[in-house]
Amino acid sequence: MRECVLEIAVQDVAGVRVAVDVGAQRVELCAGLGATGGLTPSAGLLSAALDLAPDVGVHP
């Protein structure tokens, strides 16, 4: 039996916080998610997301 993993695409630290609050095991971190469909996030945004959610997989 396969385990399902909840991954949520987010574009900022507030989104990371919401994803963690609803039980996501991973987040896909993007910049400009709504406007462009997602771009590679800045190093600063990635660092902030990792600091906020060290136990959640963060994928840029």
Q: What is the mean pLDDT of each run of 10 residues along the chain (60 residues)?
A: 91 96 95 87 94 90
Q: What is the pLDDT of residue 33?
A: 86
Is the separation of the CB atoms in 56 and 26 below 8 Å?
Answer: yes
For residue 1, what pLDDT is reported?
82
Say how far apart CA 59 and CA 19 lie, in whole Å: 13
Kindly report the pTM of this predicted structure: 0.86
Asked whether 27 and 58 are in contact (CB, 8 A), the reply is yes
Nearest residue to 41 via CA among 16, 7, 21, 18: 16
Q: Helix (H, G, I), strand (E, B), or coil: what is residue 36?
A: helix
Alpha-carbon distance of 10 to 13, in angstroms, equals 8
